[in-house]
Structure 1
């Protein structure tokens, strides 16, 4: 998927489209960020990330995509390539967020957003591991995608640690 590419899954009247976020999307995404944050306890690091969204959408180490339905932004996913460590020539990418507005769930937007992030990671030759954390509430979503995680027992918020190992492109 290129920077301006979209693809729909045929759901709904206009279908769900996934595309790379632009600086113009920052205003539309802020209410979604606020709704997502409302479901979690405050996290200063995540809030700072979201405040810098307009700069991050142009940063090549970040991949932020939006889901649209009938011209309305209904969800987003945000990932970052951390780059290779000194002892290896491949890198780990982290998915920071994947969220779909509650009124738009159940129509495939979350799956399409996840697949867009996975596709981005697979197309980057240096990324071999895509990792993220999931709250208990989203664990079933990832299980339906065929992904199972390890429960972080010491986390009072019932997080799951998940990762996908991607094929080497060497």
Structure 2
């Protein structure tokens, strides 16, 4: 790990290649080349899609982690939308130094300043429960029988005029 400051910024299409190993590590993917190529294509498309918000944590030119969220848009019966955080992952070497918190805050800030989003939701594995608890967030167990121990977490953002 470098000595420079950790910065959080919006992902660019140029980051897609560097994000692939992080995505694979997060998903525990040991995929064949064809599937990795599809991830790459999808990542480039999502980075350019205004309904998606993908941010990266970077230090000394190295990507340490990423977070990805999506604005689902308003339902027919309301003028506000729900955003879902699909991923928040930090390289094991970079954990415990505020990287995950900074990535989460970047997603929350995007949702709060994105005029139509009022609820940010996501699912967390048991392994990340303590991380979210440190941020003052707790979730409801999704399914007691599910061995993945998933928790549903929601943050209600200030209502917008």
TM-score, with length taken from structure 2: 0.90
2:89 aligns to what?
99
CA contact (8 A) 2:16 2:40 kept: no
Deviation at 1:154, TM superposition (A): 4.0
The CA deviation string for residues 61-113 of structure 1, in whole angstroms up to 9 with x for no partner, is: 00000000121001000000000000100000000000000011111110000
Residue correspondence of structure 1 range 15-94 to structure 2 within 5 A:
15-38=5-28, 52-94=42-84
Deviation at 1:125, TM superposition (A): 1.2
Structure 1 residues not aligned, in runs of 5+: 1-11, 40-47
1:160 aligns to what?
151
How many pairs were matched up? 152
TM-score, with length taken from structure 1: 0.85
CA contact (8 A) 2:20 2:39 kept: no
Change (3 A) 1:156 1:50: farther
Say whether 1:151 aligns with 2:103.
no
What's the C-alpha RMSD, in Å, of the aligned pairs? 1.7
Residue correspondence of structure 1 range 89-128 to structure 2 within 5 A:
89-128=79-118
